[in-house]
Chains A and B, each alone.
Chain A
Amino acid sequence: GAVVSQHPSRVICKSGTSVKIECRSLDFQATTMFWYRQFPKKSLMLMATSNEGSKATYEQGVEKDKFLINHASLTLSTLTVTSAHPEDSSFYICSAEGLAGHHTDTQYFGPGTRLTVL
């Protein structure tokens, strides 16, 4: 199967600092990567869609200057939460969809990153 990793798995930071989360497709090349956020006991909410080498497309209500997304290669996308505040504390999950082969029509999800902002 297709494997997607995220790093770190959990992070605690002080208010005002920036945090970078990495999402990697380990055994396939990902044309598109997606970033989601999930609050406790809630469903996943799509934040943005990123295609390799182009700017991310953000969902309505998601601040692009606060949540910086970079999709520099076909196996790596990063989400940077800038000037984090306690209300940004959440579970951040990425997913990736493949370039060719049987990974083209299925999104595979990473294990998630739990961010806690003090």
Chain B
Amino acid sequence: DAKTTQPPSMDCAEGRAANLPCNHSTISGNEYVYWYRQIHSQGPQYIIHGLKNNETNEMASLIITEDRKSSTLILPHATLRDTAVYYCIVRVGNNNDMRFGAGTRLTVKP
């Protein structure tokens, strides 16, 4: 079973920031938080991951609360091409499996 909880759907206006929340209240100290997204009929695309500190890359920012029980993925300027299902996953270290939950279906509207 997935160890994360995400809202089933969200809308965002084009050009605005999209903030996608994820709860992982049972996360262990050695588990990382990963975010992927899946556009219809394609394989999931890696976005970002982190352990304790906030992370930023060219795609997004990841904000992890101090107690690590929740996190937020931020797409700073959403475009129509960001419409996808976003998955938040926790897992231990390298080469371990990932368990996907239902994710959040983000719809970016013009």
- The interface of chain A, by Cβ under 8 A from chain B, is 4, 6, 31-32, 34, 36, 43-46, 49, 51, 91, 93, 95, 97, 104-112, 114
Contact = CB atoms under 8 A, between A and B. Distances in A.
**Size band of the interface chain B makes with A:** 20 to 34
Determine chain B's interface SS by DSSP, over half rule.
loop
Given A31-B95, A97-B95, A105 B49 contact: yes
Contacts of A114: 41
A106 B102 CA distance: 20
B93 A110 contact: no
Nearest to B85: A43
Contacts of B97: 34, 46, 49
Contacts of A36: 100
Contacts of B44: 44, 93, 95, 109
A105 B94 contact: yes
B109 interface: no
Interface of B: 32, 34, 36, 38, 41-46, 49, 87, 93-95, 97-103
Contacts of A110: 43
B45 to A, nearest CB: 7
